[in-house]
Amino acid sequence: MSSTVESSTPSKVDVLVIGAGPAGLTCALGLAKAGVNVRIVDHSPTKVQSGHADGVMPRTIEVLQSHGLADALLKDANQVYTISNYNYEADVGIKCAGRVTMINEPTARYPFAATQNQGVMEGILGDALLKEGAVIERPVRPTAIDLSTDENELKDPDAYPIKVRVKKLNEEEAAEELVHAKYVVGADGAHSWVRRALNVPMEGEQTAHVWAAIDFTPTPDSNFPDWRNIATVNAKDVGIMLIPREGGKIRLYVELGSEDGLVNAESGRLDSAQFSPDRLLEIAKKAFAPFVLKTTPENVEWWTVYVIGQRVASTFSVKDRVFIAGDACHTHSPKGGQGMNVSINDAHNLAWKLAYTIRGWAGTSLLDTYEFERRSFALELIAFDKWFAEGFSAKARAKLIAEGNNVDLPGPLEAFRAFSSVTTGIRIRYAPSIITATAPDKTDENGPYTLTVGKRLPPQVVLRVADRRPVNVQDLCLSNGRFKLFVFTGDVLSADDIQSLNKLTTDLDALLSELPKGLLEVFSIIKAKDDAITYMDVPQTLRPHWTSIHFDGHASGPVYDAYGINREGALVVFRPDGISGNF
Ligand SMILES: Cc1cc2nc3c(=O)[nH]c(=O)nc-3n(C[C@H](O)[C@H](O)[C@H](O)COP(=O)(O)OP(=O)(O)OC[C@H]3O[C@@H](n4cnc5c(N)ncnc54)[C@H](O)[C@@H]3O)c2cc1C
């Protein structure tokens, strides 16, 4: 590989992101906002125009909000609150077996899934990136990559140990460029060129599952009652999942069996020529009987058929220099609505770690925590995907029972609820590491809002002292590449507390003077509900700006109690990705 890499025009960059899907864009955005010199290339001439991933889960919406982008997403997205289940009964056809609330997380700030096509997400992230001065370079493809094997070079934080040759695809005779990068992020999808170029194997289920997806607007005479809710449909011969979408559209996911003859047994390749939207709609028509669910050809917006396995890359990084994120490192069925979410959250986890390492604020061991945290989550997701597949698939159930298995399989609604922490992203808890300390007395979760090391900051409303404006604490935890120190001061009107606050301030001043400027932001939350309180009532260090001091006085309820903090107060550190790192 390296011989061809050498022969092009050279340039230098801190991070080269390959792939401008949701993962690559989120990573590039996080890096650009942290002031890192980043480039992002994609071989496709345009962003996704329609179809592809469609569901944005509650934690992902919180992450977008931390970038100031939730409003842009929610402006036109559909909101899903309910999930229903239909099962086949002989002589009847499908019949509703129940409906449940889709998001069962009391702390969800956005208690719904937002659905719209992937292009909208890419547009929102791409525009935000542009505002940071970074342009998506397309159509541009890497043609060779060479990662140094010199251990000294790999360890040197100032070295550029990766050479990537990239080619502009719209200029026939264009010279190739040789990019020297400190880090490369392969966010180039399920068939990742980066992953394959560095020989990172995928591990897991080798069986290929064939999925079809179709987006359309139903005709007015369609009478399926749950078309504005998610519906899992266990029809006689096929499992279908219906997703309500923006603008009155719906998506059907159809899990096709290998008996449909779509995959060539020898090559393992999909013969999509055998397929068409008409055939898909015909399958749906039969599956939804006795209900009518139909459309006209001009109302079909997009369709696809693809093969997918449940796999996770054996490693998410090579030598802590080349990282893979998103679909490049995990593939699974679309049933849990996770593809875009996990990918965005991988990148959200990785971007600040790269930024801190590049700025010299952390050693390379910080980078190890990316794989440690996100690979474990990917494995959990695959476990959910398998379990959900069994609960969802009529064929799988029938097969297991026919084979004499004494199975007690979950129904799709139970499966979805049981794995709510995975599917919503809300209750993800990262295990102890160098960035999520173990705090033995502070890790018991007494209530849903209890602040817990390794988990995200649950939303609560406090009043800003200076102007009594209600503020959601999550909006203090912006994705700006900085750690946040939340000082829960206790009641500053009591003499004892003022004394301990003064002591704390002295300690904090000493700590802040040792940290690089801009690494840590300080916010204070006072316990008092007292109307007389002003923002001058706490020492200067705890109110670096008039917007940084709040009190627990909002009518929605006492924040200290919800968070499990007593009147003596507490110090809580949040990582730049909004996860509690220490108590
Ligand atoms: C055809 C297709 C249909 C899909 N349908 C669904 C669906 O129905 N439901 C669902 O939930 N998910 C679907 N997905 C998956 C979904 O798009 C991803 O789970 C999600 O977007 C993950 O984001 P990502 O950024 O990791 O990967 P992707 O969204 O795949 O983004 C990867 C990006 O990398 C670019 N790229 C790839 N290779 C190279 C290369 N060599 N050089 C430069 N750039 C490269 C691509 O153009 C793309 O922009 C589909 C994906 C594809 C490709």
List the beta strands (DSSP E) in 430-552.
461-464, 470-472, 483-490, 520-526, 549-551
Are the beta carbons of 73 and 64 closer than 8 angstroms?
Answer: yes
Q: Whose CA is nearest to atom 47 of ligand 1?
A: 44
Instruction: Report d(CA 488, CA 486) in Å as an integer.
Output: 6
349, HSE (Cβ side, Cα atoms, 13 Å): 37
Query: How much of the chain is helix, strand and coil, in % rounded to 5?
Result: 30, 25, 40
Strand order in the sheet with 300-308: 93-101, 82-89, 230-234, 239-244, 250-256, 209-216, 300-308
Is the pLDDT reported for residue 83 higher than 50? yes
Residue 443 pLDDT grade (very low, low, confident, very high; cuts 50, 70, 90):
very low
* Whether residue 393 has pLDDT greater than 80: no
Average pLDDT, the chain: 88
Query: Which stretches of 235-375 are assigned E, i.e. beta strand?
Result: 239-244, 250-256, 300-308, 311-313, 317-318, 322-324, 330-331
Q: Cβ < 6 Å from ligand 1: which residues?
A: 18-24, 41-44, 52-54, 118, 141-142, 187-189, 193, 213, 304, 306, 326-327, 334, 339-340, 343
Q: Please give the Cα distance from 422 to 293 (Å, whole number).
A: 31
pLDDT of residue 404: 59
| Residue 264 pLDDT > 70 | no
Q: Give the containing element (helix H, strand E) for 337.
A: none
* CA-44 nearest atom, ligand 1: 47
Taking the C-alpha atoms of residue 226 and residue 248, their distance in angstroms, rounded to an integer, is 13
Residue 178: which H helix or E strand, with range? strand 177-186
Q: Which atom belonging to ligand 1 lies closest to the Cα atom of 192?
A: 38
**Cα→Cα distances 7→2, 161, 172, Å:** 9, 16, 17
Torsion of CA 360, 362, 364, 368, to 10 degrees: -150
Task: Quote the tokens at residue 147.
Answer: 């990662």
Q: Is the dihedral of CA 127, 130, 135, 141 positive or negative?
A: negative
If pLDDT is split at 50, 70 and 90, which confidence band does 251 have? very high
The sign of the torsion formed by the CA atoms of 167, 345, 121, 132 equals negative
Give residue 9's pLDDT.
65
Q: Check if the beta carbon of residue 349 is closer than 8 Å to that of residue 581.
A: no
The candidate with the shortest Cα–Cα distance to 465, out of 523, 538, 534, is 534
Query: If we measure between CA atoms, which residue out of 184, 185, 167 comes closest to residue 176?
Result: 167
Give me the residues paired with residue 99 across strands.
84
d(CA 211, ligand 1 centre) in Å: 15
User: Could you tell me the distance, in angstroms and rounded to a whole number, from the CA of residue 66 to the centre of ligand 1?
Assistant: 24
Nearest CA to ligand 1 atom 12: 53
Non-local (6+) Cβ contacts of 463 within 8 A are: 469, 470, 471, 550, 551, 552, 553, 554
**Cis link prior to 10 (omega < 30° from 0)?**
no
pLDDT value, residue 577: 96
Q: Using CA atoms, how far apart are residues 135 and 32, in angstroms rounded to an integer? A: 11
Q: Quote the CA–CA distance of 472 and 120 in Å, as a whole number.
A: 26
CA nearest ligand 1 atom 2, residue: 52
Task: Work out the pLDDT band at 202, boundaries 50, 70, 90.
Answer: very high
27 in Cβ contact with 195 (< 8 Å): no
Shortest-distance atom of ligand 1 to CA 42:
44
Predicted confidence (pLDDT) per residue in 486-545, tens digit: 999 888 766 677 777 888 888 888 888 889 888 999 999 998 766 778 888 888 888 889
Which residue reads 């997400």 in tokens?
A: 121
- State the distance from the centre of ligand 1 to the C-alpha of 401, rounded, in angstroms: 36
